[in-house]
Homo-oligomer: A and B are copies of this chain.
């Protein structure tokens, strides 16, 4: 089996990323893989923001995972910079083989390279397996994540 690589996402990866976002219990109703226009516009916004790191994991030519890392400077905690991980997805054919861990480890390493002192993420309370996964990787579920839909 070819090894996994992790690299910045390019525009040609968008269909594969959107397919992974939609192939998920919670994502299915939120995404529109048949209409890529809003995703391509969002990709342009990501590209123009130097604090955004959208990456894909690839095995050979196939996109098999993705996540988005955002670097956020701030005053709290003695001027700490933190990073936020969003949109973690692993292709159905790759689940349970350690790729999720590899993606999160990449994000943690990149956060160190970007001089972050803290890595954050929120996970839907309806995903207990994900919580155990993050705890195993050393994350502490100390907070409640609130959302307001506009």
Contact = CB atoms under 8 A, between A and B. Distances in A.
Interface of A: 14, 17-18, 21, 27, 30-32, 35, 38-43, 45-46, 49, 51-52, 54, 68, 70, 72-81, 84, 86-87, 108, 111-112, 116-126, 131, 134-135, 137-150
A52 B70 contact: no
Task: Decide if the interface of chain A is mainly helix, strand, loop or mixed.
Answer: mixed
6 contacts: A30-B78, A42-B79, A52-B73, A118-B149, A141-B145, A144-B145
A7 B32 CA distance: 38
Contact of A73 (B49, B77, B141): B49
Kindly report how many copies of this chain are found in the complex they form together: 2
Given A72-B84, A123-B146, A125-B143, 6 more contacts: A30-B77, A43-B75, A125-B142, A131-B146, A134-B146, A140-B146
